[in-house]
Structure 1
């Protein structure tokens, strides 16, 4: 399996690798090492191997050149700006010590520094002027780089158009050559492993997997390629569409999608869109991002030594305090600001945001949200919490009164049920969700929560009050026979294993597919999973 990240934060990739290994395949999950050194560990019966991932091609050629038109006095992008700024800081630090020495000398506490007070004053003035000059040139450099980074100038737009017109789907080689960095890091490792099946996750790794498949088949080896499309690439947020990034990645995906023997994806809506956009012969198979609720031995996994905790206890709240939970990343497209803006009206409600990534205390988006809460005078009712291991999320959230999914209207938000939707459901929490198409339709049909108009604070307040007024009514929806059972990873893993067996009939041997959550088999069929 191939993935373009370090694996630890990608619950879908982890679940796929573990389930494939439990079904009898010899699974090696390749990811990107954040340290530049090879790292390995076990994920159940699967092996995780992070490979060194240098990215020299990710840097555009213009980043090596000075942009005279945008910053005629800017430093060149060679590192000299950082050197000069640090040198000025060092000079001023030295002058500060010398000034302190003069003060001590006046009180009879030490010798007078060489050069005299007049020279010191002149140096201080010179250092102040130099600081302004260096800061100005540094600002010109960073301002020009920010402007250039968007690649939206007339020359940039012509360059993007020209190569798209001349090379079509092959144009990504000119527009986004950094995609080759993945090939050069992963390709030799895949060839050495000689897999029977390659499982490429998402849009970056489909190219790596397809090229490895071509090389293996040319050498006379039978190998199958599974592409796992996590999202609809043209439907990414408008911020991502700036410049040539999106056009390059869409072209890359279009070039290599036809190489996949089977396409997997996360929802029926996305399956239809992928079939149409890539002209696929078959509708992609849906494997939803449902949570893994099976009791397993987690001793080899990251975060395995962390006990399951209680969100209400972590917030220091008693059972009588209304608590709304949100789990996931925070960004403008997630719509979480509506939860903060409603708190001045929902005067007794607290909000818990399980949103801090591993190894961090905060992010820029979180800081902006907390500043908003402070300005509204509700910061004492906003509780920021770190992520918990993916298999603990539902149990961790279960003591909240309700859960919120406030997504704004974007194509990828409209067509799929998110991870958090299934995690909230397994926690049996009443939900307050925005009116993005698929999630809103599901909640209305099951009765497990209330739907509000996305980014509408007053309608959100209405929905919250309705849920908090009668939570038992919404929790009762989870008693429907088979509902929660179908929203588990165990159910989705059976679909995944069936796809593998269809591609490689008769292998692995002596499988036990009818044991939910315990797909224990024997055999050594090798599967290379690639995620991106």
Structure 2
């Protein structure tokens, strides 16, 4: 795939392919990375996954976006393709077969009823006798159809029960086979545990190869394997392609979709991590875990999920100015207002905020969480709001473009991040943390490790025990009683300057330049300034006075 013929030729430093396993539009980190790399002079194509059978394309600044259809031919599990003779011998081979059989039996009985009705209608002089049948003639077929329906219903029920039992892949036999494949094959075990990962490579390979990149930037674990295999193919042909692995998550800490999901993806990541020329990730804690877990030669660079402070002209075009959060909630300047940005799910802890409101009289909360498609989670949260009688103090507001979030929130009194204790939460410094900070808001955060350490070291907020409503009330009252005490933390020279995407983009460009030293910055660009050392973004140890 070559750049669009309609795109004016421009001087570039080399070709970069970025890979992500989603539709791009909801992934602000990926969007920012592609746009900023193109601004730095690289010829960037970002490949994502299309939700339709057609390729979709658009531009992010000077970067091209291509969404590629990804068939899921390897998605069915092996046991779904064979008869379950040992587990449930009466079950059908698959749910699809069961559904077909049930529907066919219903159709047969419906047709017999139609034929009997047609016979009665014909006796009354209506047309259509040719399709009818006498009651005696239809007796045997009707009895047979009834018996077949009962037999099919029994087998369909057995199939549903089997699927319900096998779906989580946690039955003793499933656990045994998962452990066996993991032990026997090690990092190659994903071929048995998660063979559908091949679907990604088969969908993307030709598009990557046709572009002939100089560097591949693979976002997260699924695309690490796709990028590594593309780089290996190119290297085998004599082309020196560099691979950058951008690790967004810690795979062993992800929730289990089923019993083979985590071990399968962990093996996939383990096999392909060794092909990366450089790794980057989202926090110092995760960087150390990746280095230790994969035996990396050097600590991954940290590229924080910081907000864009200077969006491109194409981003601003047609987008109305951000609204004032306080005005959208219909509140005056003296009403205490808490802000929360992000999705709503049980592990994000929004219920803690709502359940605390009866103990925080007069305090309002704005949940900037509503997507164009209303989420079930919002409905469940609304139910809690109604049960507690605080509906007049909870304001559900829609998401805004990522570059507008800090300005959108600035009129609030404080911002909240009430995440529960999960492995990936413990090592995260989330988008919302930096968006809240750029809005210069005092923070109320749960005691997940990395974020809590940062807040304690900077003094920009209070930490409470996750899922502890009364401790949340304590921390919130402390912040609202003296917000200026916490806002002063943002006056530290260089703190907020380092927490911008513009600062993080320099780190990415420096990595690209190090890997491709014959591709220096273009003369028309300002020289890339040295990035702040990674250590400057790490939480300080107790007793130290400096943080970031």
Identify the TM-score tier after normalising by the shorter chain: 0.7 to 0.9
CA separation of 1:181 and 1:74: change in aligned 2, threshold 3 A: closer
Are 1:331 and 2:345 matched, yes or no? Answer: yes
1:152-171 equivalent positions in 2, closer than 5 A:
152-171=170-189
TM-score w.r.t. length of structure 1: 0.83
- Could you tell me whether the CA contact under 8 Å between 2:338 and 2:365 is conserved in 1? yes
- Could you tell me whether the CA contact under 8 Å between 1:2 and 1:29 is conserved in 2? yes
1:283-362 equivalent positions in 2, closer than 5 A:
283-299=299-315, 305-357=319-371, 359-362=372-375
Instruction: Please give the alpha-carbon distance, in whole angstroms, between the structure 2 residues aligned to 1:444 and 1:341.
Output: 25
Q: Which residue of 1 aligns with 2:538?
A: none
Are 1:226 and 2:240 matched, yes or no? Answer: no
Instruction: Tell me by how many angstroms 1:330 deviates.
Output: 1.8
- Could you tell me whether the CA contact under 8 Å between 2:82 and 2:93 is conserved in 1? no
CA separation of 1:379 and 1:137: change in aligned 2, threshold 3 A: farther
Instruction: Please give the alpha-carbon distance, in whole angstroms, between the structure 2 residues aligned to 1:139 and 1:341.
Output: 42
Q: Which residue of 2 aligns with 1:398?
A: 410
- Could you tell me whether the CA contact under 8 Å between 2:84 and 2:91 is conserved in 1? no
Are 1:46 and 2:58 matched, yes or no? Answer: no
Instruction: Tell me by how many angstroms 1:318 deviates.
Output: 3.2
Instruction: Please give the alpha-carbon distance, in whole angstroms, between the structure 1 residues aligned to 2:364 and 2:106.
Output: 48
1:104-183 equivalent positions in 2, closer than 5 A:
141-183=159-201
Q: Please tell me whether Structure 1 or Structure 2 has the larger radius of gyration of its CA atoms.
A: 2
Instruction: Please give the alpha-carbon distance, in whole angstroms, between the structure 2 residues aligned to 1:465 and 1:376.
Output: 20
CA separation of 1:251 and 1:339: change in aligned 2, threshold 3 A: same
Are 1:379 and 2:391 matched, yes or no? Answer: yes
Aligned residues: 495
- Could you tell me whether the CA contact under 8 Å between 2:510 and 2:528 is conserved in 1? no
Q: Which residue of 2 aligns with 1:246?
A: 262
Instruction: Please give the alpha-carbon distance, in whole angstroms, between the structure 1 residues aligned to 2:393 and 2:152.
Output: 44
Q: Which residue of 2 aligns with 1:32?
A: 49
Instruction: Please give the alpha-carbon distance, in whole angstroms, between the structure 2 residues aligned to 1:31 and 1:186.
Output: 9
**1:92-136 per-position Cα deviation (integer Å, ceiling 9, x unaligned):** 9xx9xxxxxxxxxxxxxxx9xxx9xxxxxxxxxxxxx99999998
Instruction: Please give the alpha-carbon distance, in whole angstroms, between the structure 2 residues aligned to 1:431 and 1:375.
Output: 27
Instruction: Please give the alpha-carbon distance, in whole angstroms, between the structure 2 residues aligned to 1:189 and 1:482.
Output: 42
CA separation of 1:147 and 1:285: change in aligned 2, threshold 3 A: same
CA separation of 1:23 and 1:235: change in aligned 2, threshold 3 A: same
Q: Which SS does the other structure have where 1:421 is aligned?
A: helix
**1:366-404 per-position Cα deviation (integer Å, ceiling 9, x unaligned):** 332222222222234322222211111111122222110
Q: Which residue of 1 aligns with 2:442?
A: 430
Q: Root-mean-square deviation (CA), in Å?
A: 3.7
**1:267-303 per-position Cα deviation (integer Å, ceiling 9, x unaligned):** 11111111111111111111111111114213488xx
Instruction: Tell me by how many angstroms 1:66 deviates.
Output: 6.6
Instruction: Tell me by how many angstroms 1:143 deviates.
Output: 4.5
CA separation of 1:83 and 1:463: change in aligned 2, threshold 3 A: farther
Instruction: Please give the alpha-carbon distance, in whole angstroms, between the structure 2 residues aligned to 1:478 and 1:514.
Output: 28
- Aligned to 1:257, which of 273, 291, 306? 273
Q: Which SS does the other structure have where 2:287 is aligned?
A: helix
Instruction: Please give the alpha-carbon distance, in whole angstroms, between the structure 2 residues aligned to 1:408 and 1:13.
Output: 25
Q: Flag the structure with more relative contact order, 1 or 2, with Cα contacts below 8 A and sequence separation at least 6.
A: 1
Q: Which SS does the other structure have where 1:343 is aligned?
A: helix
For structure 2, the 5+ residue unaligned runs are: 1-17, 114-125, 127-131, 133-146, 530-548
Q: Which residue of 1 aligns with 2:286?
A: 270
- Could you tell me whether the CA contact under 8 Å between 1:417 and 1:438 is conserved in 2? yes
Q: Which SS does the other structure have where 2:415 is aligned?
A: strand
- Aligned to 1:367, which of 374, 379, 394? 379
TM-score w.r.t. length of structure 2: 0.81
- Could you tell me whether the CA contact under 8 Å between 1:71 and 1:141 is conserved in 2? no
Are 1:58 and 2:71 matched, yes or no? Answer: no
Are 1:191 and 2:209 matched, yes or no? Answer: yes
Q: Which SS does the other structure have where 1:313 is aligned?
A: helix
